Copies of this chain bind each other. A is one copy, B any other.
Amino acid sequence: MPSHTEENYLKAIYKLSEAQPGVEVSTNRIAEVLQTRPASVTDMLRRLGEKGLLHYERYRGVSLTHDGRRVALLTIRKHRLWEVFLVNKLGFNWDEVHDVAEEMEHLQSPLLIRRLDEFLGFPQLDPHGDPIPAEDGAIVRPQHRLVSDLQPGEEGTVMAVKNTSVPFLQYLDKAGLSLGAKIEVLDKVAFDNSLEIRINSNKVTLISNEISCNLFVAD
């Protein structure tokens, strides 16, 4: 039974390795995202290596074993299912759920998660548009494009967010850019890559590159 901290490390390592497939995950990077010191990370890596959850060769970076990947995906599954529960059943807003789910993802009962999944109607996506891994760890990589990659004249529907920070989500709510919103790119400012877009065939707004780099759309 992995501890809370171990689950958090494995989840972080999984996400880092997904962000740059093929590249081994570095100690410093892990320390950075987990807000801790490299020495602490090395320490935990050794322990997780001994438990067979990751391949740890000194100086060579790290990659998850099959078991480690399973634990990471199960933790992500729990996190995202609880987020769906919080939003769809308890009426939380999508910007309020992260910290609570961060705690709930460590509940261990497999029966609980199976029944929760059923209760929620076997959702495929969490409130931020991220895919929910199946019980066996299967996960579908969604076909998305970043809004920042759209050219003038192209359009799409907002499907997911890359960043789930509270200020970003609140900005999107305010701008009418929640999941499902339709976006047409009217113009691109060459100087700072900001975009002029039309939202839901209605209001025209300017969004910065910082925003468009964190928003996914699909046709």
Contacts and interface: CB of A to CB of B under 8 A. Distances in A.
Contact of A90 (B86, B100, B107, B116): B116
Nearest to A112: B100
Contacts of A96: 111
Contacts of A186: none
A29 interface: no
A99 B107 CA distance: 11
Contacts of A111: 96, 100
Interface string A73-114: 000000000000010011110001001100110011101100
A136 to B, nearest CB: 21
Contacts of A112: 86, 90, 100
A37 interface: no
Copies in the complex: 2
Nearest to A108: B103
Contacts of A90: 112, 115-116, 118-119
A98 B99 CA distance: 25
Contacts of A89: 89, 119
Contacts of A116: 90
Given A89-B119, A90-B115, A103 B99 contact: no
Contacts of A115: 86, 90-92
A118 B86 CA distance: 13
Contacts of A118: 90
Contacts of A107: 100, 103-104
A107 B100 CA distance: 9
6 contacts: A90-B112, A90-B115, A90-B119, A91-B119, A99-B109, A100-B111
Interface of A: 86, 89-92, 96, 99-100, 103-104, 107-109, 111-112, 115-116, 118-119
- Identify the 10 closest CB pairs spanning chains A and B, nearest first: A90-B115, A100-B109, A90-B119, A100-B112, A103-B107, A89-B119, A91-B115, A104-B107, A90-B116, A103-B108
Given A86-B112, A89-B119, A103-B109, 10 more contacts: A86-B115, A90-B112, A90-B115, A90-B116, A91-B119, A100-B107, A100-B109, A100-B111, A100-B112, A103-B108
